[in-house]
């Protein structure tokens, strides 16, 4: 008897381990439409963190081009020599001055005072550091647009000259020289000069300026940009092609900008981001540079005009974020919020921004937009007022600011912040206030949580009242810090994917969502994980990037009913006759899956899958270790069979026979 029991137990164990696993079942009801899916459900958020913009997306190759650099962490702050080095031969003095500048918004400029036969050499090392560590990346045969402002004093205008060229560390010339001399009639006035430098070799370079002769020559706003760029005719200059492509490939429904913390500035009010500092024509000379709260400077070369143009370029709706009259509430800032009186005045600036986007060319700010090159309005429909704010001080200011917007532009949707956390009394209190006072507005939630939190909260929005609309403005799965860097692993990405099936199932409530941060320059890490990594010449995308891309590329128009008897995360949408099926297997076991698809006749579907070792990450050395793979999947008699690998996201598209 005992022997028999042992034998039957062994038989059960054998069956459990060796018989083929029972297939999970996913049943799709294509004609049972639950609700519309927001066309802006998946978007992106561009903030100048990790050198995302200056030193990244912005094509300016000269770091500290107008000698305004400040270092927030240095008590004196001024760091105006950043990225520049000087060599002179005793008969020349090179100084930084600020009296009678090119523009009062950026007062510092460089002065060379040359004695007879004087010589001074000034070099810029770009964002890559000195040439041994990268320098300015140049490629043989490629053209680089140079511009700079010079002012020769009367004596220099007769005998002094400035020549500009690219050189390597040893001083070998890597481009022909652009030569400038003063003239008697223009002496004492700032003149803008342009040239095109063709690189004679490839590698890291310095932009080198040599001043020779006698007299005083002033230099400011030295700029160098690759000719090959997006938006070469924008007043700010343009953007890096490969990075713009990477953004476009995310199929973003919207683009949030400029922050994040950047929208609020640093610790003092004078550093707060003022959109008016970011626009100008014909070029960017008058745009007031401000210290970036994440380090370095915001040159404003990518200002509001360039941002709106970028939105058009990548097919995304703009979502500008303006501060709410408070500096960052999460930091120990020095200046108090604006008074209510000041807040009322500040509302005018927000209205001006909307006029800049929407106003006719005959309005003050619409006129500036037209002058900058875009007579037609931009497609502005949203404005976010505040970033990660909460509490009475915020909501009273939000009421004034959003009230002014609603009165003048009732067609614009205002976005109110619910604070920086996912759970607890802060966000509960925010929601209570918002429901009472701002029920028609879109509610901006932000949370960075452990990876495992995301799948276990995939039902978060099932519980939200259907009358509210959420803008999930920042989120990402964070794994434990390893050294100074959290990896963007496949596991984190799949946890996000599981959560995103919940977002999609609730896309009547969550109408917009975006991962943060977007971009990170190698060696300039302020925050991890990030969606896209780049250096001067290469870009790689993280598994989270591919998850965002795969979801956005198959974001349907309507959510349909689907059910599973297994533990898979899933959502099914349709666009006309096309069904989009998303399934996440967040386990270490392969899972056979049967999909029941009434209404789908025999056909082969396009499938795309992201899978691999759960701890794997991409890198510059292995950019595609984790990358989507396409495959075919057949459906016979309304039934499709497939094997979901462990740790995988699978998306299938079938056509309905209707």
Q: Kindly list the residues in this chain that would bind ligand AHR in the complex (CB under 6 A).
A: 47, 49, 259-261, 387-388, 420, 474, 516-517, 527
- Measure the CA–CA gap between 503 and 419, rounded to whole angstroms: 19
Element (H or E) spanning 103, and its range?
Answer: none
Give me the residues paired with residue 88 across strands: 120
Backbone angles phi, psi at 480, to 5 degrees: -55, 145
Min CB(261)–ligand AHR separation in Å: 4
Min CB(49)–ligand AHR separation in Å: 6
- Measure the CA–CA gap between 222 and 197, rounded to whole angstroms: 14
Backbone angles phi, psi at 572, to 5 degrees: -130, 130
Min CB(301)–ligand AHR separation in Å: 20
Return the closest-CA partner of residue 586 out of 657, 503, 501. 501
Backbone angles phi, psi at 593, to 5 degrees: -130, 135
- Measure the CA–CA gap between 313 and 244, rounded to whole angstroms: 9
Apex 486 CA angle, 482 and 491, nearest 5 = 110
Q: Judged by CB, which is closer to ligand AHR: 113, or 388?
A: 388
- Measure the CA–CA gap between 527 and 486, rounded to whole angstroms: 8
442-450 and 413-417 as β-strands: parallel, antiparallel, unpaired? parallel
Choosing from 47, 68, 355, 388, the catalytic residue is 388
Q: Judged by CB, which is closer to ligand AHR: 45, or 647?
A: 45
Q: Judged by CB, which is closer to ligand AHR: 274, or 603?
A: 274
Question: 342 catalytic, yes or no?
Answer: no
- Measure the CA–CA gap between 441 and 401, rounded to whole angstroms: 13
- Measure the CA–CA gap between 32 and 11, rounded to whole angstroms: 44
Q: Judged by CB, which is closer to ligand AHR: 47, or 479?
A: 47
Q: Judged by CB, which is closer to ligand AHR: 67, or 273?
A: 273
Q: Judged by CB, which is closer to ligand AHR: 323, or 574?
A: 323
- The alpha carbon of residue 498 and the mean position of all alpha carbons in its chain are separated, in whole angstroms, by 23
Min CB(227)–ligand AHR separation in Å: 33
Alpha carbon distances (Å) from 70 to 215, 426, 521: 29, 35, 20
Which residue number is nearest to ligand AHR in terms of Cβ? 260
Question: Which residue is listed with tokens 């060796």?
Answer: 18
- Measure the CA–CA gap between 249 and 553, rounded to whole angstroms: 9
- Measure the CA–CA gap between 510 and 497, rounded to whole angstroms: 15
Q: Judged by CB, which is closer to ligand AHR: 388, or 504?
A: 388
- Measure the CA–CA gap between 221 and 571, rounded to whole angstroms: 52
Give me the residues paired with residue 655 across strands: 578
Distance from the first to the final alpha carbon of the chain: 61
- The alpha carbon of residue 176 and the mean position of all alpha carbons in its chain are separated, in whole angstroms, by 36
Q: Judged by CB, which is closer to ligand AHR: 226, or 517?
A: 517
Min CB(525)–ligand AHR separation in Å: 12
Catalytic residues: 388
């Amino acid at each position: 008897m005992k022997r028999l029991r042992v034998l039957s137990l062994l038989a059960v164990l054998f069956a459990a381990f060796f018989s083929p696993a029972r297939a999970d079942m996913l049943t799709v009801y294509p004609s049972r439409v639950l609700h519309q899916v927001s066309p802006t459900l998946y978007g992106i958020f561009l903030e100048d963190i990790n050198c995302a913009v200056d030193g990244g997306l912005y094509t300016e190759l000269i770091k500290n081009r107008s000698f305004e650099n400040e270092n927030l962490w240095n008590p004196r702050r001024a760091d105006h020599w950043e990225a520049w080095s000087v060599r002179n031969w005793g008969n020349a003095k090179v100084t930084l001055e600020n009296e009678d500048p090119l523009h009062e918004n950026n007062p510092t400029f460089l002065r060379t005072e040359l004695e007879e036969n004087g010589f001074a050499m000034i070099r810029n090392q770009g964002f890559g550091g000195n040439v041994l560590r990268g320098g300015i990346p140049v490629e043989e045969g490629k053209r680089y647009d140079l511009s700079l402002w010079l002012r020769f004093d009367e004596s220099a205008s007769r005998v002094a000259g400035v020549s500009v060229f690219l050189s390597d560390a040893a001083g070998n010339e890597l481009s022909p020289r652009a030569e400038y001399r003063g003239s008697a009639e223009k002496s004492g006035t700032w003149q803008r000069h342009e040239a095109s430098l063709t690189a004679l070799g490839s590698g890291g370079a310095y932009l080198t300026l040599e001043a020779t002769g006698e007299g005083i020559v002033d230099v400011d706003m030295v700029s160098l940009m690759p000719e090959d760029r997006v938006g070469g005719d924008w007043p700010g200059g343009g953007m890096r092609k490969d990075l713009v492509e990477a953004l476009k490939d995310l199929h973003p429904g919207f683009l949030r900008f400029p922050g994040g913390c950047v929208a609020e500035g640093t610790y003092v009010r004078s550093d707060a981001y003022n959109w008016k500092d970011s626009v100008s024509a014909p070029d960017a000379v008058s745009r007031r540079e401000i210290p970036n709260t994440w380090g370095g400077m915001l040159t404003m070369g990518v200002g509001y005009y360039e941002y709106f143009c970028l939105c058009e370029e990548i097919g995304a709706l703009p979502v500008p974020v303006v501060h709410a009259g408070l500096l960052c509430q999460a930091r120990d800032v020095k200046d108090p919020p604006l008074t209510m009186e000041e807040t009322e005045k500040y509302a005018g600036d927000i209205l001006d921004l909307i006029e800049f986007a929407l106003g006719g060319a005959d309005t003050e700010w619409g006129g500036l937009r037209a002058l900058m090159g875009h007579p037609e309005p931009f497609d502005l429909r949203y404005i976010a007022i505040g970033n990660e704010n909460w509490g009475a001080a915020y909501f009273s200011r939000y009421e004034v600011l959003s009230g002014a917007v609603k009165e003048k532009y009732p067609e614009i949707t205002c976005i109110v912040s619910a604070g920086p956390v996912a759970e607890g009394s802060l966000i509960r209190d925010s929601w209570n206030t918002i429901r009472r006072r701002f029920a028609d507005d879109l509610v901006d939630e932000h949370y960075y949580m452990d990876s495992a939190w995301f799948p276990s909260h995939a039902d978060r929005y099932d519980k939200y009242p259907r009358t509210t609309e959420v803008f999930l403005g920042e989120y990402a799965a964070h794994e434990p810090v390893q050294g100074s860097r959290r990896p963007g692993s496949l596991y984190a990405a799949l946890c996000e994917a599981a959560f995103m099936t919940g977002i999609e199932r609730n896309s009547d409530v969550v109408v917009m969502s975006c991962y943060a941060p977007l971009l990170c320059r190698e060696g300039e890490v302020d925050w991890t994980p990030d969606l896209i990594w780049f250096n001067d010449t290469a870009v790689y995308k993280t598994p989270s990037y591919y998850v965002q891309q795969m979801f956005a590329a198959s974001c349907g128009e309507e959510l349909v009913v689907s059910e599973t008897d297994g533990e898979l995360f899933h959502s099914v949408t349709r666009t006309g006759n096309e069904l989009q099926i998303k399934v996440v297997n967040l386990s270490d076991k392969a899972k056979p899956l049967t999909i029941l698809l009434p209404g789908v006749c025999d056909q082969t579907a396009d499938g795309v899958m992201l899978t691999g070792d759960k701890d794997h990450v991409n890198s510059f050395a292995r950019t595609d270790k984790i990358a989507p793979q396409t495959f075919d999947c057949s459906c016979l008699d309304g039934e499709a069979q497939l094997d979901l690998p462990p740790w995988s996201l699978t998306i299938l598209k079938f056509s309905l026979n209707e």
